[in-house]
Amino acid sequence: MPHLLRYSIVVVIVILDQITKIWADKSLEMYQQFPVTSFFNITRAYNYGAAFSFLDNEGGWQRWFFTAISLVVSIVLCVWLFRMTRAERWLSLSIALILGGAVGNLIDRLWYGYVVDFIQVYWGNSYFPSFNVADAAISCGAVLLLGLTLFEKNDETTEKTPTDKP
């Protein structure tokens, strides 16, 4: 996958993420639920913590902690993505998805001090924590990366052992 395509994926994710967050933030009242299906709502929620609201109510220090982590991870992923070969298309896709999501949420943390979430999935009375396009991209990238790690064949054949000569 060419570098331009890799970084285009990142940019598309960031733009889509920011547009949808701005829309949700401007169009919905806090925690207002707009039913889409019997298991999916659009709602507005703010996450001051990390994934699944981890450390959400810690008084504000977590904003800068998670901002710093996001920034470092984004830089590392950006360099890693640049160093990949064209043949590593699935790996570069997974890293581009993760990087796009990380940058999308990083923008929110820097700009607002929290991440805007608006997608709510539920089953009966059980609700999954709200998330956004950036979170979905990170999750898809992580699943793809895990699948590549677990199931991709290694190019090396079985280890060769020296044979004993009679």
- pLDDT for residue 50: 63
Residue 156 lies in a domain: no
Q: How many domains does the chain have?
A: 1
Residue 7 lies in a domain: yes
Range of the domain at 85: 3-148
- Cα of first residue to Cα of last residue in the chain, in angstroms, is 50
Pick from 54, 29, 61, 52: nearest CA to 42: 29
- pLDDT for residue 47: 87
If residue 91 lies in a helix (H) or strand (E), which one and from where to where?
helix 89-111
- pLDDT for residue 158: 43
Residue 135 lies in a domain: yes
Residue 138 lies in a domain: yes
Q: Are 118 and 42 in contact (CB under 8 A)?
A: yes
pTM of the model: 0.83
> In a 3-state reduction of DSSP, which class is residue 84?
coil
Pick from 29, 38, 54, 67: nearest CA to 131: 54
Residue 131 lies in a domain: yes
- pLDDT for residue 66: 79
Q: Are 132 and 89 in contact (CB under 8 A)?
A: no
If residue 45 lies in a helix (H) or strand (E), which one and from where to where?
strand 40-47
- pLDDT for residue 154: 64
Residue 143 lies in a domain: yes
* Averaged pLDDT, groups of 10, the chain, 166 residues long: 91 98 94 92 86 55 79 95 93 97 94 93 91 96 95 59 52
Residue 144 lies in a domain: yes
Residue 158's region, left for phi above 0, alpha for psi from -120 to 50, else beta, is beta
| Active site residue ranges | 117, 135
Residue 154 lies in a domain: no
